[in-house]
Amino acid sequence: MNSGAFYLSVGMAVFLIGLHGLLVLQDNLRRVIAVNLMGAGVFLVLVALATRTDPVDPVLQALAVTGLVVAISATAFALRLVSARIRHQQHKTKPDDGRLSSHKDKPR
């Protein structure tokens, strides 16, 4: 078993840990981390495959570099969605601090 095959299986393991977390966890922040871990697993597989040829495969490495930047922009968006959702829930549960929805509580 050469190191390429070894890291290929490590990458698959990281991907599966992420997948398991995504399916099982309920906390949104952790789900975002889980998706990121799945991405890391995919990059590991790509780079492990890149070591097949002797000067390592530049195409797969370039793909992984591109993927990394896409992953962080997607993460930023996802995290913003998470905090927007939480803010939304807060507004629904706390209607009595001068917010728009507070007119329901006023005595008529």
Restricted to residues 18-37, the positions that interact with other proteins (CB under 8 A) are 18-21, 23-27, 29-30, 32-34, 36-37
Please name which of 7, 102, 79, 83 lies closest in space to residue 45, comparing C-alpha atoms.
7
Among positions 48-67, residues that touch other proteins (CB under 8 A) are 48-53, 55-59, 61-66
Among 69, 93, 104, 105, interactor with other proteins by CB under 8 A: 69
Q: Does residue 92 touch other proteins according to CB under 8 A?
A: no
Q: Please report how close the Cβ of residue 93 comes to other proteins at its closest, in angstroms.
A: 11
Residue closer to other proteins (CB basis): 83 or 107: 83
